[in-house]
Structure 1
Amino acid sequence: MILIISDNNDRTTVEVIRWLVSLNKQFIVVNDDEFFEIVLNNKKFFLQSHRNSFFLDDIESIWYRRGGLQFKRLRYSNDSINIHMNETQHWLEDYVLKTLESKRHINKQSNSHVNKLLVLEYARKEGLDVPEYFLAENTDEVIPGKTITKSITGNPSLEHVSENTDGMLYTAIIDKKEKEQFFISFFQEKIEKDFEIRTFYFNGECFSMAIFSQNDDQTKTDFRKYNNKKPNRNVRYSLSNSLEKKIHSLMKKLNLNCGSLDFMKSGSKYYFLEVNPVGQFANVAYHCNYPLFQKIADYL
């Protein structure tokens, strides 16, 4: 049995499911609105929610796509008992998650969110070029027009920016200095790029796509500001063997067998920006005709 943990309506998950159906494979999809109870059935761990149920031993492979396996905890009126029960249930949940991660897997729930600062340090140690960056509480060291800022976290979204509208924090160029201090923020050297590269990494293989985002003012600084009226040109791209070896070493260091990496090509250099274990790669598959969904299904 294959277990897939994902968000509701994730298009990448849907594409992989289509392949699993064509292969006549049994699978369970757990979405982020499910809460499981852990029970014993014939002395075996059994997980059940309002939608799914399965024996832990029946799971042979697992794809942690997004979201997470969530648990419903029993509560008692006596607070003293609750403290003990919470600890007990925590370790049962930990056992379930670690048992699942010991099986054939694509990524893990336990390391699905990486620390960007550590990733950049590791990338440099593996020999990847990284734009100069620093943390600061003011703009004293910032050179306007030549410095960008972005979130220290992954790709944070903002809920209800305006009525019925959510938002996203994009990379931005600093055009002037601030007078006031602020919370510790991430700043990085602005690189004049030739184009961007999105690389999907899966079990030692790299599948890369060049994104010509610099030709459009809307996407020049951050290609995620998609121009749906005039989309960027996206084409297959081949990285050098030496660069792919460095990517492989970095992913092993991060204990990841799957993820999306971002680079910028500037002259003869390839600048590493970040890795997202749960990043989107459907666009890489669609635009470049890579059989990524089939590869994931076959592996599972």
Structure 2
Amino acid sequence: MILILSHEHIDEPTNNIIDWLSFYNARFLRLNGDDFLQNKNVKIDINNNIVVTNDEKEISPDEISIVWYRRWIKPTEKKTFFEKFKQLGFTNDETLLVEAYNKYLQQESTAYINGVFSIFKDKIWIPKPSKARGNINKLDVLLRAKDKGIKIPATIVTSSKKEVELFLKTHGNIITKPIYEANCFRYREEVAPMYTKEVSENDIKNFPQLFFPSLFQENINKAFEIRTFIHRDRVYSMAMFSQNDVQTRVDFRNYNWEKPNRYVPFKLPEKEEEKLLMLLNELDLNTGSIDLIYDDKGNYVFLEINPVGQFGMVSLNCNYNLEKIIANDLMSLSNEQKLTNERDN
């Protein structure tokens, strides 16, 4: 059986792959990380090596041949309840204590939820949970890419205003973006997304002399951007002409819904594909979405990789039908694993 790990939040590529698996009458099971949140009746039985779901279904690793890790816990709003506690008469110290306890519960929840993965640790994983969302370091990936001969932007992490001034003087045009992930800040009804942003001389003038360590890169003059999706040594790329729109020029995720960017199928040179495959192999990844820039000098410049990044836009805009390809591959792997187990027994 194929085990699909996901969450309740809408993820169309997952749903589309499940549609294909259903069409082919494949044996699969979807398990959402949300089922293991509080107020749900679940159990991880370590002695008997089984997981019992909210609807009392027992899942044994003996039933599972392959695990496709797509998502796990849906995005949650990180809220501070400070004002609410104050309204209820809590003192500042009491409020901080409650929030500290809430953080402890979140850590406990993460520990037991991720414990589910160990039940299926001996199965084929795409990708491995240890390499999934938030579990690879952007700086480490850039260093490894550089070592593989892949061109990367000039990059520094610094807390010094002087260093940023010198970096801007050296490269003429620079950007900043999160070191971890481009998450959102939420406060009441407001949402502040974390996009890649240009850093101007006027911006730097307002910096304090020392600040929280931040990532800065040279701003690459691009001819176009490339989103490459890799699934088990198969490479699918798409060119995105984001530079033609001021709104998306620095970060294509700042979508212009009224006038979308142009997306077309694209074929990377074979040597560039080989470098990316070598990088994934070194990172112990068998899938991932990669962001690249084709600059105005004809260079392919690596930006970052997301092990469980969106591939639906690549599939739809380029007519690759990736959901069908992945569904067929999961079924093929599952059948191969079944035959291997039968021979071993």
TM-score by length of 1: 0.86
Select the structure that is richer in helix: 2
1:50 to 29, 54, 63: 54
Are the structure 2 counterparts of residues 92 and 229 from structure 1 closer, same or farther at C-alpha, using a change threshold of 3 Å? closer
Letter of the aligned partner of 1:97 in structure 2?
F
- State which drifts further: 103-112 or 123-132: 103-112
Are the structure 2 counterparts of residues 283 and 293 from structure 1 closer, same or farther at C-alpha, using a change threshold of 3 Å? same
Match of 1:25 in 2: 26
Match of 2:71 in 1: 66
Contact kept, 8 Å, 1:5 with 1:68, in 2: the verdict is no
Letter of the aligned partner of 2:13 in structure 1?
T
Are the structure 2 counterparts of residues 167 and 28 from structure 1 closer, same or farther at C-alpha, using a change threshold of 3 Å? farther
Contact kept, 8 Å, 1:197 with 1:262, in 2: the verdict is yes
Contact kept, 8 Å, 1:201 with 1:260, in 2: the verdict is yes
Provide, for residues 13-72 of structure 1, a one-character-per-residue CA deviation record: whole Å limited to 9, x for no partner.
1011001100101222122311241237xx742211214531221111110111269xxx
Find the aligned partners of 2:48 and 2:191 in 1 and give their Cα distance.
43
How far 1:104 sits from its partner (Å)? 2.4
How far 1:164 sits from its partner (Å)? 2.6
* Equivalent residues in 2 for 1:188-199, closer than 5 Å: 188-199=217-228
1:279 to 288, 309, 314: 309
Are the structure 2 counterparts of residues 166 and 32 from structure 1 closer, same or farther at C-alpha, using a change threshold of 3 Å? farther
Are the structure 2 counterparts of residues 277 and 169 from structure 1 closer, same or farther at C-alpha, using a change threshold of 3 Å? same
2:122 to 77, 94, 102: 102
SS state of the match for residue 244, structure 2? Answer: coil
Find the aligned partners of 1:91 and 1:34 in 2 and give their Cα distance.
12
How far 1:275 sits from its partner (Å)? 0.2
* Equivalent residues in 2 for 1:49-198, closer than 5 Å: 49-51=53-55, 52-67=57-72, 97-98=117-118, 100-112=120-132, 113-142=135-164, 143=168, 146-160=173-187, 163-175=188-200, 176=202, 177=204, 178-180=206-208, 181-198=210-227
Structure 2: gaps of 5 or more residues = 37-41, 75-107, 331-345
Are the structure 2 counterparts of residues 91 and 172 from structure 1 closer, same or farther at C-alpha, using a change threshold of 3 Å? closer
Contact kept, 8 Å, 1:154 with 1:276, in 2: the verdict is no
How far 1:182 sits from its partner (Å)? 1.1
Are the structure 2 counterparts of residues 167 and 91 from structure 1 closer, same or farther at C-alpha, using a change threshold of 3 Å? closer
TM-score by length of 2: 0.75
- 1:39 aligned to 2:39? no
Q: Could you say what the CA RMSD is over the residues aligned between the two structures, in angstroms?
A: 2.2
Contact kept, 8 Å, 2:3 with 2:67, in 1: the verdict is yes
SS state of the match for residue 247, structure 1? Answer: helix
Find the aligned partners of 1:102 and 1:68 in 2 and give their Cα distance.
22
Give runs of ≥4 in structure 1 deviating > 4 Å: 90-94
Are the structure 2 counterparts of residues 92 and 275 from structure 1 closer, same or farther at C-alpha, using a change threshold of 3 Å? closer
